[in-house]
A = this chain, B = another copy of it.
């Protein structure tokens, strides 16, 4: 028994969550997915709730690292790369199942302090990253100085959250939102935008 086993169990939790959803997920499902006994899972995580919290921490850490890691030679490239990470990568298998599980966790947040704290922390990480990139783009003159970093970052995080939720609830494609955002960045963000291209 070692730390690798603990991490392995979190990986199994991810796969079990995608298969069964959050509400129906049991320690038995996770043990089956990890090919371990329920006792082993309980040795590392003493309750289902504790396991779920640890899993969300693990997920947020991984996702935060990806968000902090996006790079590019200019703020515009960084912005494109970040949008790609949050909108494109998530479309990959098992994207839909995973997003559904995350939406279930969000719906549990008002009843679960640990979930709410972790989701708020992650929301803030995403917001800060967008705000920093936009501010850097204004600084270098790549983005229009009329773009307000904080307001725009709030819009982007809200829109991304909505695009994911609509995709789960109604099967509406994220691509449409992704294309609209890209067009918006092309026209609204660009410095010295001619008046006819401001939308």
Lowest 10 CB-CB distances: which A-B pairs, in order?
Answer: A162-B162, A106-B169, A161-B162, A120-B170, A158-B162, A198-B198, A103-B107, A104-B107, A146-B199, A165-B165
- Asked if A100 contacts B110 (CB within 8 A), the reply is yes
What is the interface of chain A, defined by CB distance below 8 A to chain B?
21-23, 96-97, 100, 103-104, 106-107, 109-111, 116, 119-120, 123, 144, 146-148, 151, 154-155, 157-166, 168-172, 176-177, 180, 183, 188, 193, 195-196, 198-199
Chain A contact residues: over half helix, strand or loop, or mixed?
helix
Select one of B111, B146, B188 contacting A196, CB under 8 A.
B146
**Contact assessment for B169 and A123 in the assembled complex, using a CB-CB cutoff below 8 Å:** yes
Q: How many copies does the complex hold?
A: 2
Listed A/B pairs (8) with beta-carbon separation below 8 Å: A116-B170, A119-B169, A146-B198, A154-B177, A158-B166, A159-B162, A160-B162, A162-B163
Q: Is the CB–CB distance between B180 and A151 below 8 Å? A: yes
